[in-house]
Chains A and B, each alone.
Chain A
Amino acid sequence: MSVLSTLMAVVRVGFLNRVRRYSFLVVLVLCIVAGYVFVPAPGANYVTLGWGSDAVFYRGVYNSAWIGSVVALLTGMFLALFGFYVVNDLVRLDEDSGVGQVIATAPLGNPVYTLGCAVSNFLVLGCMVFIVFLTALGMQFVRGEVFAVDLWALLSPFLVIVLPLMFLVAAVAVFFETSLSRSVGNIVYVFLWLFGVPLLSDSIDLIGNNLVISSMRAAGEVVFPGLSQNQFILGYAWGFPEGRELAAFAWSGVQWSLEVVQGRLFVVMLAVCVSLLASLRFNRFDPAGESRGAVVSSMEPVEVSDAGVTPIGEIRLGGLEEGVSFGFGSILLAELRLMLREFPSIGGMGVLVAFGLFAGGLLLPVGSARGMLLPLAWLLPVLYWSKLGTREARFGTGQLVFSSAFFVLRQFLALWLVGFLISLVTGGGVMLGLVLSGEVVGALAVFVGALFVPSLALFLGVWTGSCKVFEFLYVLLWYVGPLSGFVPLDFMGALGGSVAGGVWWFYLGVAFVFFGVGFLGRLRRFGG
């Protein structure tokens, strides 16, 4: 079998494995919704790309070039983040299914495998991009400003801008899978997207927005001189145009020069390099390999001696001296122990850090404790929270535990309490400090945050069976809300504005809803 046919086999299997999942259908539906939202109606109270002053909002006429480019830019931005989480499980799928062991013994080089995985990921993302493209085509008719379709102007931004970026995302997903533990990779990628891409944007235009937007701006300046003096908007901007006059200009799209194409080819080459780099970190499904976490490395095969074996004839297994009782304390302790054993390498250090955060919250000035320490304190335990409600699905222990009596309610409450305990220990110092300084409402807001986080984690864990949705959503929420100062998303009461505005009442309600719906998820599957 030639290298090319081997590569194609890896690509094909990986692709089919993902696109035949029910969840992929959901993703495609979301792509259609995204394509629709990216082209707002003239009367909508949000915009996605343009320039706004107090009186006027400027954007291009909804022709093929404008719609194609706007949808392509936004698709690139969003799929660069969300797309990663759709495709970052191919190596794990091979590992968990046992196919990895077969691949490991096949005459297949590591670079071929990781490149094949990257191409496979790219095809999955490419399907999503294609659906958005079709939606963009439809949106030109739905909005109906220009009915003449220029297919190249509509399609070329997807081909030139989005697809190379998707290949890079596909390759980075493989690199993260081979280099980092799953949960750490999920979190690191959010930070990479939030901070890394903007930092690089001046030197490498990965998302391609500099190129397109400068062309749009130039066309707009011709019709409306001084347009670029206004506020530039890219993304979902609520409250625009709202009373402003709409001023539209015709834009015929980017002229794709050789230099531009070379720039995008550079992104493709970068993706190839990243996937080859991944091959250096790929442990070839060796359970004794050390490249994907310390947990695996400590697991040398056990040798058991026959010394001291009870002879078969002497085996007598008596009954239990005491009957069984289904107390809540025992399951709470058991779940707490199990949670602490999730990361044996952290061990007691994690408990020390948690109490350090408690003490810090109590000793620091209230403002610093609430605004700085609390966001940090509630970021560190994210890997613990993300495990809530997922363990049975991840380790295949569902049949063992869910056939036990009174388990569903007992364990659900115990899991939630373990998560709440983590919130309390890490953020309790801040809470107590607020009470002592008389800011009872502030303390209440933090307390609501402590209720909200485990409820969100348990809800997502139960319904998805996976840690990554929480890891991704929570870190995004944490960044956009408490860290960036966006008051409506301040779920933890870190911002004075959110406390005064009573945002925590909303999160109190949401916490109860998540708790209830999470419990329903458990009942639906195993409640008997």
Chain B
Amino acid sequence: MLEIDGVSKRYKGSDSFALRDFSLDVQPGVLGLLGPNGAGKSTLMRIIATITKPSMGSVTWGGSDITKRPDDIRRVLGYLPQDFGVYPNLNADEFLRYMAAVKGVNRKAALGRIDDLLAFVNLVDARKRPLGSYSGGMKQRIGVAQALLNDPEILVVDEPTVGLDPEGRVRFRHLLAELSGDRVVILSTHIVSDIEAVANDIAIMNSGRLVRRSSPEDLLRLVEDRVWEWVIPSSDLQAVRQVHLLSSVVRHSDGVHVRVVSDESPGDGAVLVDHPSLEEAYLYCISSHRGEAV
């Protein structure tokens, strides 16, 4: 449905590429886009949302080039940017009604939809209060609601759970899981647990490039024999940290229990972990791409 073909993006006045020869074919379901800060995730999101144009390459939606015909994707798009503002003098109802008009949602249909969305994001009680008085998490929830107003066929959400409380995060994950089906959901984040919960497809990015594309299961299989648990004296921790990639450090009475992501055993007494986590698989991919020894 969505095809990204050889896309590069270089911002004016910058020597480096935010995206470089990036290709991806996205089908219905939840695609989790993982990568460290500065990997180019937000740039890719903005290109898909037609806010930014690629310097090279093309993006097509249903066969239509969105650079040339942006309205083809815009009419079915729900977009939650990483940073966005709201109109502080409007309340939640008024803001969502405005956004519904902007997105072409019929007035009658919009009213029911807004009720549903406000219930979903748990803002029914605050719907008549000006948005200027909302906390960061509440504004984020309004952002989530506006992205869903037009019942989008493609939902692009950039770091959607930042600022949400734990319950809000769970609700959002639940919604994404429910929404995925015959629509495309692209979820960009650096919080691996968000992806783990909902994504059936994962793309890992680093330095503007696609590092790996696979299912969560394949990604986990990649590190099945590469994560080690190792008990070391606390005095050795700094030295170990400098040599190995550690995914967790827990102190116990018998020493420090570290989990090491490594192709080979990090030292005597290290044992392979039975069930490596997705976060460890992600760390392994990023470190390998950077050329760091693992």
Contact = CB atoms under 8 A, between A and B. Distances in A.
Interface of A: 287, 295-296, 298-302, 304-305, 307-310, 312-313, 315-327, 330-331, 333-334, 337-338, 341-342, 344, 391, 395-407, 411, 526, 528
A400 B104 contact: no
Chain B interface residue bracket vs A: 35 or more
A302 B129 contact: yes
Contact of A404 (B102, B109, B116, B117): B102
Contacts of A403: 49-51, 74, 77, 79
Determine which residue in B104, B133, B175 has the highest number of CB atoms from chain A within 10 A of its CB, and name it: B104
Given A320-B113, A337-B98, A338-B87, A399 B174 contact: no
Contact of B109 (A298, A320, A407): A320
Given A301-B135, A320-B150, A331 B101 contact: yes
Contact of B94 (A304, A305, A331, A337): A337
A300 B90 contact: no
A391 B85 CA distance: 10
A334 B104 CA distance: 11
Q: Please list the 8 inter-chain residue pairs (A to B) with the smallest Cβ-Cβ separation, ordered nearest first.
A: A396-B85, A528-B70, A334-B101, A405-B74, A405-B75, A299-B133, A326-B104, A399-B81
Contact of B84 (A397, A405, A411, A528): A397
Nearest to A325: B104
A403 to B, nearest CB: 4
A61 to B, nearest CB: 48
B270 interface: no
B56 interface: no
B103 to A, nearest CB: 5
B61 to A, nearest CB: 12
20 contacts: A299-B88, A301-B135, A302-B129, A308-B125, A315-B171, A317-B116, A318-B116, A319-B151, A321-B109, A334-B101, A395-B87, A396-B83, A400-B79, A402-B51, A404-B104, A405-B74, A406-B104, A411-B102, A528-B53, A528-B71
B274 interface: no
Nearest to B75: A405
A317 B155 CA distance: 14
A334 B102 contact: yes
B57 to A, nearest CB: 16
Interface string B145-165: 010101100000000000000
Given A400-B79, A528-B53, A528-B67, 17 more contacts: A295-B88, A298-B130, A307-B125, A317-B116, A317-B178, A323-B106, A324-B75, A324-B103, A338-B98, A396-B85, A400-B84, A403-B49, A404-B77, A405-B74, A406-B104, A526-B51, A528-B70
B193 interface: no
B179 A317 contact: yes
Contact of B105 (A301, A313, A324): A324
A341 B98 CA distance: 12
A396 B84 contact: yes
Contacts of B262: none
Interface string B54-70: 00000000000011001
A401 B278 CA distance: 35
A405 B70 CA distance: 8
A299 B98 contact: no
A396 B82 CA distance: 11
Contacts of B99: 400-401
Interface in B114-139: 116-117, 119-120, 122-126, 129-130, 132-135, 138
Nearest to B112: A321
A107 B106 CA distance: 53
Contacts of A395: 85-88
Interface of B: 46, 49-51, 53, 66-67, 70-71, 74-75, 77, 79, 81, 83-90, 94, 97-99, 101-109, 112-113, 116-117, 119-120, 122-126, 129-130, 132-135, 138, 143, 146, 148, 150-151, 167, 170-171, 174-175, 178-179
Contacts of B123: 304
A50 B276 CA distance: 87
Nearest to A310: B119
Nearest to A323: B106
B146 A302 contact: no
Contact of A304 (B51, B101, B138, B175): B138
B75 to A, nearest CB: 4
Contact of B51 (A307, A321, A344, A399): A399
Nearest to B77: A403
A80 to B, nearest CB: 33
B198 to A, nearest CB: 14
Contacts of A309: 122
A337 B102 CA distance: 13
A186 B135 CA distance: 30
A397 B254 CA distance: 54
A152 B109 CA distance: 75
Contact of A406 (B71, B81, B87, B120): B71
Nearest to B156: A403
Given A301-B133, A315-B174, A399 B46 contact: yes
A338 B51 contact: no
Nearest to A299: B133
B65 to A, nearest CB: 11
A331 B89 contact: no
Contacts of B77: 403-405
Contact of A399 (B49, B94, B113, B126): B49
Determine which residue in B53, B67, B113, B167 has the highest number of CB atoms from chain A within 10 A of its CB, and name it: B113
Contacts of A341: 87, 89-90, 94
B132 A296 contact: yes
Contacts of B112: 321
A320 B171 contact: no
B56 to A, nearest CB: 17
A407 B130 contact: no
A327 B113 CA distance: 18
Contacts of B167: 312
B184 to A, nearest CB: 15
Nearest to B53: A528
B102 A407 contact: yes
A405 B117 CA distance: 21
A397 B107 contact: no
A20 to B, nearest CB: 13
Contacts of B81: 399-400
A312 B122 contact: no
A519 B217 CA distance: 50
A321 B49 CA distance: 25
B134 to A, nearest CB: 6
A405 B119 CA distance: 26
B89 A528 contact: no
